[in-house]
Amino acid sequence: MIPPQEASARRREIEDKLKQEEETLSFIRDSLEKSDQLTKNMVSILSSFESRLMKLENSIIPVHKQTENLQRLQENVEKTLSCLDHVISYYHVASDTEKIIREGPTGRLEEYLGSMAKIQKAVEYFQDNSPDSPELNKVKLLFERGKEALESEFRSLMTRHSKVVSPVLILDLISGDDDLDAQEDVTLEHLPESVLQDVIRISRWLVEYGRNQDFMNVYYQIRSSQLDRSIKGLKEHFHKSSSSSGVPYSPAIPNKRKDTPTKKPVKRPGTIRKAQNLLKQYSQHGLDGKKGGSNLIPLEGRDDMLDVETDAYIHCVSAFVKLAQSEYQLLADIIPEHHQKKTFDSLIQDALDGLMLEGENIVSAARKAIVRHDFSTVLTVFPILRHLKQTKPEFDQVLQGTAASTKNKLPGLITSMETIGAKALEDFADNIKNDPDKEYNMPKDGTVHELTSNAILFLQQLLDFQETAGAMLASQETSSSATSYSSEFSKRLLSTYICKVLGNLQLNLLSKSKVYEDPALSAIFLHNNYNYILKSLEKSELIQLVAVTQKTAERSYREHIEQQIQTYQRSWLKVTDYIAEKNLPVFQPGVKLRDKERQIIKERFKGFNDGLEELCKIQKAWAIPDTEQRDRIRQAQKTIVKETYGAFLQKFGSVPFTKNPEKYIKYGVEQVGDMIDRLFDTSA
């Protein structure tokens, strides 16, 4: 039970809290009443504001709509006036532009094209809005006249400013690729820059607005003529230069001073000239042969014009490639892209056909030359064919995109040249084998036969064209190895061919040597020819090519040479046999000779003297052009004869076999040597 004091205290505490809560409640109630009042006042203000806004909106909206309608009406009026002005302007186009169209575009292309644009728009307007109006016919007629004037201007610009490229510039252009020391590039300006821009603008207008492609025909015809004339001009330049100075040349690059040209020798292809120069060098060393019988036309007599024609054709081929490349660059700026290949194909046809026709003429001339055994003329095919093959990648690149018939022209010419070249090689080998033995044409002094010098000269020429000649031979082969191992196979074929020619030549020389009645002269003849062949092979490096298939060729020729020397030396046996030890009489010193023994000694002296004189007289007229071989053969023979005669003279020179010893002992040992030293020397 709670004590009364605590209960009283607790009650007072509760009553205090209750009083506080009641005061708080009273405060909250007062606050709510104030808030309600404020809310009512705010609602009243907003309601009043809304009412005023509604009244304002009802007043403004009609005014706004009326203003908007007025603005729209004003814009429509302005557009109508503008359209009327635009339409009216079309009716004035003809009169405004007629004078400009009549005067033409020359010198005022920008203004002219602007007038044509106005006429074009007028035509389009009348076609769409008033197709029956006379104004349409008027502007259409004016447009056609303007288009014709632009076409005429295009033709005029191309004709007046398309110039033939000078041979000098073409040669600089060709040599520019190989001239590492060139200070500046050689460029072609087919049209002046300002003219080029006008031509481009006209061509684009004709394609876009004129709906005209005739100008492309005009373009290729004019440029085709210039290209063809440029190449023909280069060919004429070669002929004129060769007739005046002997060497075509290219002056310095044109932007240098015209009065100080620098002669620039044109790089001449490896023609027969090199082989002829080799022959001249051998001649200076005593290797050249004298004229003998041969149905082969001498290579030395080859006309220089063949070299000029060959050089001219080779340079014309290179010129075509360079000029065609340049033409395509020009064409790409003027002709629409989808017409470029066709137009370019037409543009190059005349020049390309000219080159191909000339190439076929060369093939035809070679074919005729083979029939008459003029193989020097056939050799012109070799440098040309080599150049065509070297140029073919550039040719293919230039002709990319042209018709198949155009692309196939060069490969067709190459095939023709390979075929005729292979025919020439085979016929040459057959002619070497079958060259007849004409007694009246054989060299009387036993020197090198013309057949030999011609054959070697021909083979030497092949050194410059090993790949070309090998490819010619390989082109006639059907074996799979010809394609699988083309380079090595071609080299072996060429080596085999050279060995075949040399074998045919050797057989023919053996046959010809039988024409000589004197075996010694026959031996000298074979010796001279074999020696000439060997030295020529060594000097011209043909021996390395021969060694590809015949390792022992050099040794074989040396053996043949030695064999002929020995055969020749046997001709002296009839002289030395008279005084040889085995044929001499035996007698006792101090014992008087019998008549028979004296007669034998007299016969030996007389036989030796007569034989020596006869041989020296005959063999003095023979020839051994190689000084080294001539000295060697003389020395060997001199040694043998002097030793034999010296021994004989020592034994019988003091023997009293005659009362007139000077009648029999006509020569001393040294005199005999001097006589032999004068062998093979027609000037002695």
42, pLDDT greater than 60: yes
Query: For residues 54 and 290, which has the higher predicted lDDT (pLDDT)?
Result: 54
Q: Which two tokens stand for residue 424?
A: 């020439």
pLDDT at 224: 95
Decide if 293 contacts 453 (C-beta within 8 A).
Answer: no
pLDDT for position 65: 75
Picking from 595, 677, 590, the residue whose alpha carbon sits closest to that of residue 632 is 677
For the stretch 290-328, pLDDT in tens is: 444 444 444 444 456 677 888 999 999 999 999 999 999
Expressed in angstroms, the distance from the first to the final Cα of the chain is: 184
- Give the range among 67-76, 96-105, 207-216 with minimum mean pLDDT: 67-76
When pLDDT is averaged across residues 554-561 and rounded to a whole number, the result is: 95
Question: Does residue 239 contact residue 247 with C-beta atoms inside 8 Å?
Answer: no
Neighbours of 12 (CB within 10 A): 9
Distance CA 347, CA 333 (A): 15
Query: Pick from 425, 434, 567: which is nearest to 507 by CA?
Result: 434
Q: Are 499 and 553 in contact (CB under 8 A)?
A: yes
State the pLDDT confidence band at 506, using cuts at 50, 70 and 90. Answer: very high
What does the angle CA 109 – CA 110 – CA 113 come to, to the nearest 5 degrees? 80
Q: How far is CA 258 from the centre of its chain?
A: 29
Mean pLDDT of the chain: 83
At 433-469, the pLDDT tens digits run: 988 877 668 899 999 999 999 999 999 988 889 989 9
Closest by Cα among 480, 650, 446 to 564? 446
- 249 three-class SS: strand
The count of other CB atoms within 10 Å of the CB of residue 565 is 18
Residue 458 is encoded by which pair of tokens?
């021909």
> Is the pLDDT higher at 570 or at 266?
570
Mean pLDDT (whole number) for 217-225 = 94
Nearest to residue 564, comparing CAs of 509, 626, 520? 520
How would you write 101-148 as a 3-class SS string?
Answer: HHHCCCCCHHHHHHHHHHHHHHHHHHHHHCCCCHHHHHHHHHHHHHHH
Average pLDDT value for residue range 342-358 = 95
> What pLDDT shows up at residue 279?
40
Note whether 490 and 467 are within 8 A (CB).
yes
Q: What does the pLDDT average to over 209-222?
A: 87
What is the residue whose two structure tokens read 């040349």? 249
**Residue 74 — very low, low, confident or very high, per pLDDT cuts 50/70/90?**
low
Instruction: Write down the pLDDT at residue 269.
Output: 43
**Rounded Cα distance, 90 and 135, in Å:** 9
Provide the pLDDT for residue 198: 93
Of 231, 411, 413, the closest CA to residue 316 belongs to 231
pLDDT over 90 percentage in the chain: 46
pLDDT tens digits for range 4-17: 788 888 888 898 88
d(C-alpha 331, C-alpha 335), whole Å? 6
* pLDDT(212) > 60: yes
Give the pLDDT confidence score for residue 387 in this predicted structure: 95
Helix extents (H) in 464-541: 466-475, 481-484, 486-513, 519-539
Alpha-carbon gap, residue 247 to 250, rounded angstroms: 10
CA-closest candidate to residue 231, choices 317, 328, 109, 108: 317
Per-residue pLDDT band at 272 (split at 50, 70, 90):
very low
The better pLDDT of the pair 258, 145 is held by 145
pLDDT digits (tens, 9 = 90+) for 405-420: 999 999 999 999 999 9
